[in-house]
A = this chain, B = another copy of it.
Amino acid sequence: MLRALGRRRQPCRAGSAVRRLVCSLILVAIVNASTQPNSSSSGADSNAGADQKVAFDALMDLVGEDLKRVNQAILDRMHSPIALIPQLAGHIIAAGGKRLRPLLTLGAAKLVGYEGERHIQLAACIEFLHTATLLHDDVVDESDKRRGRDTANAVWGNKPSVLVGDFLFARAFELMVEDGSLEVMGILARASAVISEGEIHQLLTANNIETTEADYLEVVGAKTAALFAAATRIGGVAADRPREELDALDAYGRNLGIAFQIADDFLDYSAREADLGKSIGDDFRDGKLTLPVIHAIAAANDEERAFWTRVLEEQAFSDPHGDADFTHAMTLLSKHGSLEATVRRAHDFAEAARRSLDMFPDSPVKTVLTEVVDFSVARAY
């Protein structure tokens, strides 16, 4: 998920104050993702540029200080006497990522007026769970690159990647136990099981052109949206908010997560990315059944169906890298309006995410959370 956001990062351009704020949110997160705990402020200035300075300061007023503390907690708790663990974990945690999921915990906590300290450790915990998943994903996908950097499995091999993933998962549970809320632990234990189920379900839909949109949404809801939903919900649990607010935060995270993943899957077929020289078509070449092709397959005639069977199920490409087949796939997506349909679905979920915030009074953090939704799907234009 974040992989795609990262590898296809759009430059932040000056625009409305709100747009600048959102760009800054992302920039702050990137800057704070550094493993150098004291580099964030100066780094932010030099990277963000002067015209983001005002919005940057505004955002720091909101969650920037908290995010710094989250990053410090991550660094502190990556520690192990086995030096390879912080090395490898640091590699992937430093590799960027926008700390989007921990930011959601911080944002949700702030939205409901939380004043305590627990959200810092819980946000770090969310990032550990996410990082553990990424490490195992890269092993499972045999990925060499993540966000333009070599993956941990490419550098150290699969073995330490599997085991450090396990370590981070265990460490996440240690952080939860320290927090001490059975409700939070229940949410995160359940989310962890659901994420694994979603990943396994995804394996089973790969290379299967019978996969439906309903299957796809089930996979995405589990492998991606479950952690988004947990991240926002626990922000509310920390603040001891009533059930309806927790459900609203959950719905916000869940719908945002689905919109985010749909946009991500769209981008793997985005012609504009090709203009930018980024790699596209990875999902196609891996035979992954994502929404764009699911839509096109549903509308396919017999000849087209035979094409999808050959390329996605049999992975029998007509040239070594499947370039000609990918071009033909793009033609079919265009013929059936599949990319537009994909964007529409992303917008449906984005709208649902926004609506979930209706019950909360307007505030700067509500504006930012709304803009995170906009940004997540705006990537898909």
Contact = CB atoms under 8 A, between A and B. Distances in A.
A197 B162 contact: no
Nearest to A178: B186
A173 B189 contact: yes
Contact of A167 (B160, B163, B196, B204): B196
B162 A139 contact: yes
A192 B175 CA distance: 13
A88 B126 CA distance: 28
A166 B196 contact: yes
Chain A interface extent, by class? 35 or more
A136 interface: yes
A126 B275 CA distance: 53
A260 interface: no
Contacts of A195: 166, 170
A163 B139 CA distance: 10
Interface string A170-183: 11011011001010
Interface in A135-184: 136, 139-140, 158-160, 162-167, 169-171, 173-174, 176-177, 180, 182
Residue from A160, A167, A173, A192 with most neighbouring chain B CB atoms (10 Å): A173
A345 interface: no
Contact of A173 (B162, B185, B199, B200): B185
Interface string A313-324: 000000000000
A91 to B, nearest CB: 14
A47 interface: no
A186 B177 contact: yes
A85 B159 CA distance: 22
A164 B82 contact: no
Given A163-B196, A203-B163, A170 B182 contact: no
Contact of A203 (B160, B176, B186, B199): B160
A140 B169 contact: no
A169 B136 CA distance: 13
Contacts of A165: 166
A80 interface: yes
A18 interface: no
Interface string A275-296: 0000000000000000000000
A103 to B, nearest CB: 23
A14 interface: no
Given A140-B163, A158-B139, A160-B203, A80 B197 contact: yes
Given A82-B204, A174-B189, A177-B189, 5 more contacts: A82-B200, A167-B196, A169-B169, A170-B195, A173-B192
27 contacts: A82-B204, A84-B204, A85-B197, A132-B166, A133-B166, A136-B162, A139-B158, A140-B158, A140-B162, A158-B158, A160-B200, A160-B203, A162-B162, A163-B199, A164-B200, A165-B166, A166-B169, A166-B195, A166-B196, A166-B199, A167-B196, A167-B197, A170-B193, A173-B192, A176-B185, A177-B185, A182-B182
